[in-house]
Chain A
Amino acid sequence: MATLTSVGTLYRGGEGMWTWVLHRVTGVAVFFFLLVHVLDTALVRVSPEAYDLVIASYKTPIVNLLEVGLVGAVLYHAFNGLRVVLIDFWSKGPRYQRQMTWAIAAVWLLLMVPGTFFMLKHTVEAMFGSTS
């Protein structure tokens, strides 16, 4: 009878619970992007030079990776949002929630694989040299 830690276990939910968690996480992430985006765009009213300076600071490989993450988050949030709408409004929605989860995952991957390639192409070429 060993006495162990006092915390309870994490609830082991299915696809429904984890898609909901991811929906919240991507929602908050997109919100913070929008916050920064509104602030940097508003800089144009301060001075065009300040705006150019801030935008130029984004031209780094890390920001490029963040952009890929942003596209992934927006796409997931949009597709899962449609899934949730269908669950609530379409009479057969709740019965097909699992299939719809796999459908949005497939569409997301289908768009993200070429999307990531083209978004990172310039960064990779600039960092490791272009073949053309």
Chain B
Amino acid sequence: MTAVAEAPIAAPVATDVTFRVRRFLPEVDAEPHWEEYTVPLFPTDRVLTALEKIKGEVDGTLSFRRSCGHGICGSDAMRINGRNRLACKTLVKDLDISKPITVEAIKGLPLEKDLIVDMEPFFEAYRAVMPFLITDGHEPSRERLQSAEDRAKFDDGTKCILCACCTTSCPVYWTDGQYFGPAAIVAANRFIFDSRDSGAEQRLEILNEKEGVWRCRTTFNCTDACPRGIEVTKAIQEVKRALIFRR
């Protein structure tokens, strides 16, 4: 047997990809404006890599939030080609690079700079639904046990990373800043359907208010936007059903 030289594996080729980024520098700009940047990228690169390349090699004034870069911290939610996505979970190969890729800040929260928004109204709604275990009676001397079936009831909601992709994809939230928004309702759902929790009534009353679950118009933008695959609209519907059928 003679050794046959294997065909050389082709090295991946970087292609030039153009990004249209909606920029806003409050010190200089009166209004946000679009700017285009072209950077060489591999198909397996993330949009986050592109933004880091732009910031590091082309224009250092570009601002965006990022922390873990692995879809867990929820810092880099932004609108990529018109849809809310995490920049660290969006790969170049999944986008149409024949046209510029648009990147802009998430909608419905006050724009502070470039891709950074003020998240405070979002977290205010989150805190308002009391996203923590509420118990009554005696403190047990051991852990609070729960069956696998009971645990499964609220499993979807536990995946939330509070990135705000869902809340800022909601047309109701864009026009009505008072609406709790999908993320806060998911957080409430996670405790309402937890068998160890006894604060369900209080949370249901909060969400039965005018700006609670009844503002949901079931557009499913939130379900589509969630980078964790949470069925957000279903979680909101479960709260609606709990309110209708509880008595």
Contact = CB atoms under 8 A, between A and B. Distances in A.
Nearest to B83: A12
A10 B240 CA distance: 29
Given A8-B32, A16-B219, A94 B79 contact: no
B231 A95 contact: yes
A13 B219 contact: yes
B218 A8 contact: no
A50 to B, nearest CB: 41
Interface of A: 1-6, 8-17, 20, 84, 87-89, 91, 93-95, 97
Contacts of A95: 231, 234
B220 A2 contact: no
Interface in B223-242: 223-224, 231, 233-234, 237, 240-241
Nearest to A95: B234
Pick the 9 closest A-B CB pairs, nearest first.
A16-B220, A12-B82, A4-B34, A94-B234, A17-B219, A16-B219, A20-B219, A6-B31, A13-B221
Given A4-B34, A87-B218, 7 more contacts: A2-B35, A13-B219, A13-B224, A20-B219, A87-B237, A95-B231, A97-B233
Nearest to A98: B220
B79 A11 contact: yes
Interface of B: 20, 22, 31-37, 59, 79, 81-83, 102, 104, 107, 169, 171, 217-221, 223-224, 231, 233-234, 237, 240-241, 244
Nearest to B81: A12
Contacts of B82: 9-12
A21 to B, nearest CB: 8
Given A14-B221, A20-B218, A88-B218, A8 B22 contact: yes
Nearest to B103: A9
Contacts, number: 89
B220 A14 contact: yes
A4 B233 contact: no
Contacts of A16: 218-221, 223-224, 233
B36 A91 contact: no
A89 B242 CA distance: 10
Pick from B59, B102, B220 the residue with the most CB of A within 10 Å: B220
B181 to A, nearest CB: 15
Contacts of A6: 31-34
B231 A89 contact: no
A11 B218 contact: no
A9 B33 contact: no
Contacts of B104: 8-9
A24 to B, nearest CB: 9
A10 B83 CA distance: 9
A12 B221 CA distance: 9
13 contacts: A4-B20, A4-B34, A5-B33, A11-B107, A11-B221, A13-B169, A13-B219, A13-B224, A16-B224, A17-B171, A20-B218, A87-B218, A94-B220
